Amino acid sequence: MFKSLSASKMFRFPFVFWMVLVGGLVAVGIGLVSLGYPVPATELKGVEGTLYQESKELHSITPDSLEGMIVNTVELVSPAVVSISTERTVASFRPSQERSYGERFENFDEFFRRFFRSPEPRREFKQKGLGSGMIINENGYILTNEHVIHQVDEGGISITLSDGRILKAEIVETDIESDLAVLKIRADSLPVVTLGDSDNLRVGQWAIAIGNPFGYALSELNQKYEPTVTVGVISARERAMQIGGTGTEVRVYTDLIQTDASINPGNSGGPLVNIHGEVIGINSAILSPSGVGSIGIGFAVPINKAKRILDSLVKYGKIEWPWIGIYMQPELTEDLAKKFGVERGVLVTEVVESSPAKKAGVKAGDVIQRVNGKDVNSPLDLKNEILKLEIGEEIVLALVREKEQITIALTTGRIPEEIVRAEEEEIEEETEKEIKEALDKAPEEALLGIKVQPITSELRKKYNLAEDEQGVVVTQVTPAGPAMQAGIVPGDVIKEVEQKKITDIDNFHEAIQEVKPGEMILLRVRHGVWTMYITVPTNK
């Protein structure tokens, strides 16, 4: 296939031959260099001209330009951003579980993961943690995340200031509900941040995340440090997220700011600021499915929520949230929606005695659809709208009662020390004879597959029922019956049948007598500490 060429034939095509030969040698040379045969450094001596090009021109930053505004913002805020170092004692079954920088707080799945506990821990160790915070008052008050200082040892919080000083901090107050904490150090004349307004944020506006995770470590090395800075935009508002699960503590957070400004490890508790240097949020978490790094989704607690906490501390000496005094159905199912004649909303299952809602006329069975004109479709929505308010602020609820639209105005209040859940009416104990007579005429067994009894002192004790609990208590549930399939268990208290209040065994039976076999029946049931509405298909 291939033919050899004689020397004479080679010289017949001198140009082609030498081009191929030279090209091959060049290729081999390049290959040798790429395989690790660099030009000796001595060859660089005596190189004519410069080895590289450089610019010595000084580029000024125009203050009114975007670059200038970002630089000015960072210079303005950074002195008030602190590094927080924590120490907590952790029981460990395996020594390898200790980590030098503590929990990966920014990991979505492990954001609030409880520390590993073993029934028989082999040893205890001191776990270190790093986070950030911001000085809000020149006398040493610092705002940060609750999870940054969660379960720290007494005296286990150290604050590193921008001037390199390291001071011990005390916890003033914490709030798991909002993941916020207020700390205090003994210092004065400190630089402070300026709090902005997070209620009027717009998606797309600039957001600058500032943190100081390594200030403590660098200060110990006598090294000057500056906070870390990342720039992005507001990606979304009013986000909700669930933290934890799979055997760990579960928390739900609402009304979060979403941003693509990277929230680096240790930046939790640092400020999220706008282009004008005003704090609009507290950096809290990132979405990290891998648990390794950010995918560009970060979350911050709105600063207005923090301002409400701070105002509460000044006014009441502790953190207080607005309260109206209702309990809500976790989910409005299709069957429940049909029963109440609605398509959406939040179903009220119980109204606390003497609460703002009770005084205003809210009743169990009401379906709240709007709060101050804003639609609410879940308990989370309603709770979020209430928490935006101030204690003592008037709100308007638009709700459906017995398939009619009504509006109720009420004023938010403070949660009382003791909440009275039912009317203070004593239920007299039934005699054994009365109980037997009641059980003998029990249609609920045929319809629902349950047996009920009046609430006696013995049953109160057996099922741990409150002294003021009203209704009838379920004592038996037929296996695979309608009630069991609906989740009813012995010890549950039936408080309503088809929205008719049940106070004793007689009116329970009166209500049951009106139910036709095969109908879907609506019950209001106390199940453990919760009261809820459930629909049960009766036997035919």
Q: Which one is catalytic: 179, 255, 366, 492?
A: 179
**pLDDT at res. 37:** 55
Q: Rounded CA gap, 167 and 164, in Å?
A: 10
**pLDDT at res. 38:** 63
**pLDDT at res. 362:** 95
If you count them, how many residues does the chain have?
Answer: 540
Phi, psi of 108 (to 5 degrees): -55, -45
**pLDDT at res. 351:** 92
Q: Rounded CA gap, 275 and 178, in Å?
A: 25
Q: Which one is catalytic: 85, 92, 147, 175?
A: 147
Q: Is 509 a catalytic residue?
A: no
Q: Which CATH number fits domain 79-316: 2.40.50.1040, 2.40.10.120, 3.60.70.12, 1.10.630.10?
A: 2.40.10.120
Q: In the 3-class helix/strand/coil scheme, how is 317-376 assigned residue by residue?
A: CCCCCCECCEEECCCCCHHHHHHHCCCCCEEEEEECCCCHHHHHCCCCCCEEEEECCEEC
Matching residue, tokens 């400004």: 261
**Contact status, residue 538 vs residue 522, Cβ threshold 8 Å:** no
CA atoms within 13 A on the CB side of 302: 23
Contacts of residues 246-252 at CB distance under 8 Å and 24 or more positions apart, as own/partner, are 248/110, 248/112, 248/113, 248/114, 249/112, 249/113, 249/114, 251/112, 251/176, 251/179, 252/380
Q: Does domain 326-411 have CATH number 2.30.42.10?
A: yes
326-411 matches 432-537 in fold: yes
**Contact status, residue 113 vs residue 248, Cβ threshold 8 Å:** yes
pLDDT in tens, the chain (540 residues): 333 333 333 334 444 444 444 444 444 444 434 445 566 666 767 777 777 888 888 888 888 889 999 999 999 999 999 999 998 887 544 444 433 333 333 343 333 333 333 334 445 677 888 899 999 999 999 999 999 998 899 899 999 998 888 999 999 999 988 899 999 999 999 999 999 999 999 999 999 999 987 655 555 555 566 788 999 999 999 887 776 544 455 677 788 999 999 887 788 999 999 999 999 999 988 776 555 556 678 899 999 999 998 998 988 888 888 999 999 998 899 999 998 999 999 999 999 888 999 999 999 999 999 999 999 999 988 988 898 888 999 999 999 999 899 999 999 998 876 543 333 333 334 434 444 444 444 677 778 888 899 998 889 888 888 888 889 999 988 887 888 888 899 999 999 999 999 998 888 988 888 888 888 999 999 988 789 999 998 887
H/E element, 452 = strand 450-454
Percent helix, strand and coil across the chain, each rounded to 5? 25, 30, 45
Q: Which one is catalytic: 268, 288, 312, 355?
A: 268
**Contact status, residue 80 vs residue 191, Cβ threshold 8 Å:** yes
Matching residue, tokens 């607005």: 322
Q: Over the Cα atoms of the chain, what is R_g?
A: 34
Strand spans (E) along 218-297: 228-243, 251-259, 271-273, 278-286
Q: Rounded CA gap, 9 and 289, in Å?
A: 68
Q: Convert 38-57 to b/e letters by CB count within 10 Å (16 or more is b).
A: eeeeeeeeeeeeeeeeeeee
Q: Is 268 a catalytic residue?
A: yes
Query: What contacts 340, CB < 8 A, 6 or more positions away?
Result: 347, 365, 367, 400, 403
**pLDDT at res. 149:** 92
From the list 287, 194, 181, 271, the residue with the least C-alpha distance to 235 is: 287
**pLDDT at res. 110:** 39
**pLDDT at res. 21:** 43
Q: Is 354 a catalytic residue?
A: no
Q: Which CATH number fits domain 432-537: 3.60.130.10, 3.40.50.300, 3.40.50.2300, 2.30.42.10?
A: 2.30.42.10
Give residue limits of the domains in the chain.
79-316, 326-411, 432-537
Token pair of 425, please?
């009416």
Amino acid at 85: S
